Amino acid sequence: MEDEVVIASSSTEAGIGCWDLRSGAEHLRYRSCASPSHGLVSVAGRFLASSQLRDSSSSSGSVLCWSWNKPQIEVKSFPAEAINPLACNSDGTYIVGGGVSGDIYLWEVATGRLLKKWHGHYRAVTCLVFSDDQSLLISGAEDGSVRVWSLLMIFDEERQQRAGHLYEYSFSEHALPVTDIVTGYGGCNAIIISASQDRTCKVWSLARGTLLRNIVFPSMIDAIALDPGEHVFYAGGRDGKIYIAELNAQGTSNNNYGLHIIGTLSDQGKGICSLAFALDGSQLVAGSEDGMVRVWDTKTHNIIRVFRHAKGPVNNVLVIRQPPALYPRTSANNQASVARRHVPLPPPLEKYTSIDEHSDLNAFITPQPNCDKLYDATYTTFHSMNNQINELQQHGSSGASELEMERLKLDCKRSMQMVEQWKKMYENLHQFCVGELLNGEADDANLTLTS
């Protein structure tokens, strides 16, 4: 199983905590970070980015970036206004930020360029989420609206003019500011759950753009987490309870909490500010107002682990796969060697857009991490040899006949030599015989003469 890390930040200046989920060991603490709710993202596991709470005096906002292996801030950007929520698509190509004025900003990570900025809501944006196939963006705001944007549409001015509005859906059923949004699996059939200060969570259908279910809670809900199997979702209330609300059953109202709420996880702690699921789908990580991060086992309803983060409320928790850079360098495994290759962080995010119609938008293709190992060692001798043998069998090709000719030439040469040899031998024999004959005759003559 892959190691996972829990990352948490707080609205007070307590840095970003980072713990191993399984062992509980704390990794680096990244310094000087005071983030708003939903302001902390891991950009495709490559680095951490967080928007910052700023005193109202400064006009621009700030977004800070940390690389995994250094506690200090590495890149600082100053967008045109204070940014609340940040979101990043799974490829890590875009960072989206929601401003306090209701504007939504979309930056390209590789170049830091501000690709688009549009007016999304009437009041400050509070949360931003990408749909599971990364083609839609869902935003919630203080004015209580939840809007669904298609990234394609955002970039397509021609179509925008025809449609008259940018968003795909705008849900305005919430009466008070939206506090959290989650979305599930299923592409266009996914559901969206939004929580609001009006003490309700609402379940929306992405495909139909309709409200499917409205659940009233006893307390304000600040954070929600969707069970990966999507049979329930967890809603963290300001009263310190994590309510479990079911999604796939008929509601029964014969319990203490209300329709569709089937139970709670509670340890008499303070209000829940953030929730996240571990990859195994059973451990639920909750950040609390008292500065603690608790890990619940949703099967047994017990707390398995507690991390102490800060004095102030923990308003962001993330659970991600352990980035290679966090593996200890001593270990000789492959991941460590990848980590040693230092990847520089991308440039800061632009304040104003520098894109005009002539600027060349390039796509950046990052190499596969183990690119060297990807070549299949394909051996071809066997194949090519069989091909050549086939050719030889057919005697058809020029190559084959040429080869044959070479061989024949040499054969011929050898035969010529042989012939020469035979000739010579014949010659010798002939001479010998003649000699014999002549000598013999002479002898005979001698004999006759002597006899």
- Scan residues 191-220 and list those touching other proteins (CB under 8 A): 191, 203, 205-208, 210-216
Interior/surface letters 362-372, b for 16+ CB within 10 angstroms, e for the rest: eeeeeeeeeee
Tell me if 183 contacts other proteins by CB under 8 A.
Answer: no
Listed ranges 11-19, 147-155, 174-182, 434-442: which one lies at the site for other proteins (CB under 8 A): 147-155
> Are 233 and 227 contacting, i.e. CB atoms less than 8 angstroms apart?
yes
**Residue showing tokens 């990052």:** 366
How far apart are the C-alpha atoms of 281 and 268, rounded to whole Å? 24
Tell me if 266 contacts other proteins by CB under 8 A.
Answer: no
Question: Which of 32, 29, 31, 51 lies closest to 40 in space, CA to CA?
Answer: 51
Question: Residue 129 is encoded by which pair of tokens?
Answer: 């989420």
Tell me if 254 contacts other proteins by CB under 8 A.
Answer: no
Give the CA distances from residue 337 to residues 70, 186, 324, 331, in Å, rounded to whole numbers and listed in that order: 17, 37, 9, 9
Nearer to other proteins, 55 or 357 (CB): 357
* Interface pick for other proteins out of 122, 155, 426, 432 (rule CB under 8 A): 155
Cβ at position 442, least distance to other proteins in Å: 46
Question: Residue 180 is encoded by which pair of tokens?
Answer: 């959290």
> Are 122 and 108 contacting, i.e. CB atoms less than 8 angstroms apart?
no
Question: Residue 448 is encoded by which pair of tokens?
Answer: 């006759």
Cβ at position 165, least distance to other proteins in Å: 14
Cβ at position 269, least distance to other proteins in Å: 30
Site string for other proteins, 114-133 (x = CB under 8 A): -x---------------x-x
Q: State which of positions 349-408 bind other proteins (CB under 8 A).
A: 358, 360-368, 371-372, 374-375, 377-382, 384-386, 388-389, 392-393, 398-400, 402-404, 406-407
How far apart are the C-alpha atoms of 125 and 99, rounded to whole Å? 6
Cβ at position 447, least distance to other proteins in Å: 50
Give the CA distances from residue 323 to residues 10, 69, 299, 410, in Å, rounded to whole numbers and listed in that order: 21, 10, 27, 68
Residue type, position 171, single letter: F
Point out which residues pair with 83 in neighbouring strands. Answer: 99
Listed ranges 183-191, 266-274, 298-306, 320-328: which one lies at the site for other proteins (CB under 8 A): 183-191
Q: State which of positions 228-247 bind other proteins (CB under 8 A).
A: 231, 247
Nearer to other proteins, 304 or 392 (CB): 392
Listed ranges 150-158, 220-228, 329-337, 424-432: which one lies at the site for other proteins (CB under 8 A): 150-158
Cβ at position 225, least distance to other proteins in Å: 17
Nearer to other proteins, 189 or 302 (CB): 189
Q: State which of positions 90-109 bind other proteins (CB under 8 A).
A: 91, 93-94, 108
> How many residues of this chain bind other proteins (CB under 8 A)?
81
Q: Burial-class residue 66 by CB neighbours within 10 Å (0-12, 13-18, 19+).
A: buried
